[in-house]
Chain A
Amino acid sequence: MAYRDEKLSEEKVFKDPVHRYVHVRDRVIWDLIGTSEFQRLRRIKQLGTSYLTFHGAEHSRFNHSLGVYEIVRRIIENFRDREHWNEKERLLCLSAALLHDLGHGPFSHSFEKVFKLDHEDFTQAIILGDTEVHQVLEKVEPGFPKKVADVINKTYENKLVVSLISSQIDADRMDYLQRDAYFTGVSYGHFDMERILRVMRPMEDQVVIKESGMHAVEDYIMSRYQMYWQVYFHPVTRSAEVILSKILHRAKELYETGYGFRLKPKHFLSFFAGEPSLKEYLALDEAVTLYYFQEWMEEEDPVLSDLCYRFVNRKLFKYIEFNPNSQMNEWMELYKLFSKAGLNPDYYLVVDSSSDLPYDFYRPGEEGERLPIHLLQPNQELKELSRLSDIVESISGKKRTDHKLYIPLDRLEEMSNRSKTKKRIMEILYGKE
């Protein structure tokens, strides 16, 4: 039997708190899960720094990747024998679902911003490079790794296959919303996924939803909206993320200016230089990163050691609401005052905006801008979701954005009450001394 068709003698199941069980029968999938690159995802948290806000949020990208695989497996089981669905694409879909997040690095959002990297490039590099994952995929058939990489890169010719893993209502989002809700312990992320899977229909180039399933989709959109504001965009998580970014900036700056680290940051050197090889990229996970942060608490550089202490011990920055339009002059004054107070404003005075986040909520958008969620009407016509749903219309029409100013309030409070600088800073920040 060809490797691509090989089945395990017995079905393997992973116990999963969200989907109850993740079922694996294909030899290829089982082998992919066993590769070192996939196992590495156990050491990358799905929600990055959110565990500092929601202590349960310790789940990994490994859990999530299995979950996405399981959802796609269920979807294509429902698609079997339906028009537009080609059963020959089954293994490709399952492999792409499983591997879609393979290139994520430690705390990937901050890492990518600071070191100007893109995890999607590394996903491609792992699938196409000299790796265990590549060896497994290449055994399926020559060129199969490229197909998987193209699906994940959204450049595969069959758009229906792409839309299962990446669209406005895809397996990726359906898994992370439920999983993140479960592990953070919030009650917002739940929706009736079974119902959505039942009303999904394959079309030539996209997945659509039968109109009768609109209310289940509304629930999904509400859940996405609430998770965005309540979990992903939580101001305390953003504070941790701000400190994390500043640690990485500081370490890079010190390295570039020839600072002698007590512990040579050998895992970071290629990141500082801007071009980590695949091997170097894979060697840096969150355990290694946190080890350095722990060590850097003892560094002589007061900024680096302070920021690491804050991150490791959760002594986060406080925040106030900030309007960059009306408060521009105040910001400029604060910048000078912070320098005067001995607090480097490049590290201790930080504006964080909603656009700094890697999450979004549903917007129908403009014609040809981005593919929306389409409802399939009884006459076989497609209509964009918000045209039929008042709930979705009202959510997606609002532009809610947010900016916050993060500061080390503890350091300001330590300053003498007689200090004019402190008085003025407090006056600007809180309207009082």
Chain B
Amino acid sequence: MLENHAKLMQFFSSTDEIIGRKKLQKMIYILKKCEIPFEERYQFHFYGPYSEELTLRIEEMCNLGFITETREEKKNYYQYRYQMTDSGRNFLEHYENNLPPLETHIEEMNGKSSRFLELVSTMLFFEHLPKEEIAEKVFTVKSAQNYTEEEIEEAWKFIETLRSIH
């Protein structure tokens, strides 16, 4: 029961907090692409890979009291902050920890901007293409973001770093 929720709870238990829904979306996608077996389905959206299933599961976990969501008013938008609760920790005790340690991955990603994680996840979405085509695809589908060659290079290094953990 709720095995996929339990996996997400393991994610939250590996960090103090996650700031931003966009960041959360991209982090789970990038972890999936690092062979961490999250089951949420992703599709390509305006801002890169996005999972409606993940959004719904997060809502369920908030309603069940496993995580807290704090809405913060920013200049022109809202931002959300997520933290695990004691109920969440109790819930997780009923499940075997079947994911590898995620602390280092999360720390690395938390240190990056959501714009950068959008780039990384977009590149991973097109990973089946040859490397030079991936850059071209990013410039096409993310033209409004104005990513530079340097950022793409940095993103490749970041992907390599993440995949070399463990």
- A353, CB-defined interface residue at 8 Å: yes
- A371, CB-defined interface residue at 8 Å: yes
13 residue pairs from A and B, CB less than 8 Å apart = A154-B44, A157-B141, A355-B59, A360-B52, A363-B55, A365-B21, A366-B22, A366-B78, A367-B77, A367-B78, A367-B79, A368-B118, A370-B45
Whether B43 lies near A399 (C-beta < 8 A) is: no
Cα A154 to Cα B143 in complex, Å, equals 14
Cross-chain contact of B94 among A120, A332, A365, A400 (Cβ < 8 A):
A332
Given the contacts A355-B56, A370-B50, A328 and B91 also touching, CB distance less than 8 Å: yes
Q: 1/0 per residue A357-380: CB within 8 Å of B?
A: 100100101111111000000000
Cα A360 to Cα B141 in complex, Å, equals 25
Q: 1/0 per residue B51-75: CB within 8 Å of A?
A: 0110111011011111000000010
- A331, CB-defined interface residue at 8 Å: yes
Cα A166 to Cα B21 in complex, Å, equals 21
Whether B56 lies near A354 (C-beta < 8 A) is: yes
User: What is the chain B residue whose CB lies nearest that of A112?
Assistant: B41
**B contact residues around A370 at 8 Å (CB):** 45-47, 50
Cα A154 to Cα B53 in complex, Å, equals 18
Chain A residues engaging chain B, CB cutoff 8 angstroms: 118, 120, 153-157, 159, 163, 205-206, 323-325, 328, 331-332, 351, 353-355, 357, 360, 363, 365-371, 399-401, 403
Q: Give me the 9 closest cross-chain CB pairs, A-B, nearest first.
A: A367-B77, A355-B56, A371-B46, A366-B21, A401-B60, A325-B64, A154-B44, A399-B59, A351-B1
**A contact residues around B41 at 8 Å (CB):** 118
Q: Which of B93-115 contact A (CB under 8 A)?
A: 94, 114
Cα A353 to Cα B44 in complex, Å, equals 24
Whether A325 lies near B65 (C-beta < 8 A) is: yes
Whether B137 lies near A371 (C-beta < 8 A) is: no
Cβ of A125 to closest chain B Cβ, rounded Å:
13
- B158, CB-defined interface residue at 8 Å: no
Given the contacts A366-B20, A368-B118, A399-B59, A353 and B2 also touching, CB distance less than 8 Å: yes
Whether B21 lies near A369 (C-beta < 8 A) is: yes
Cα A325 to Cα B61 in complex, Å, equals 9
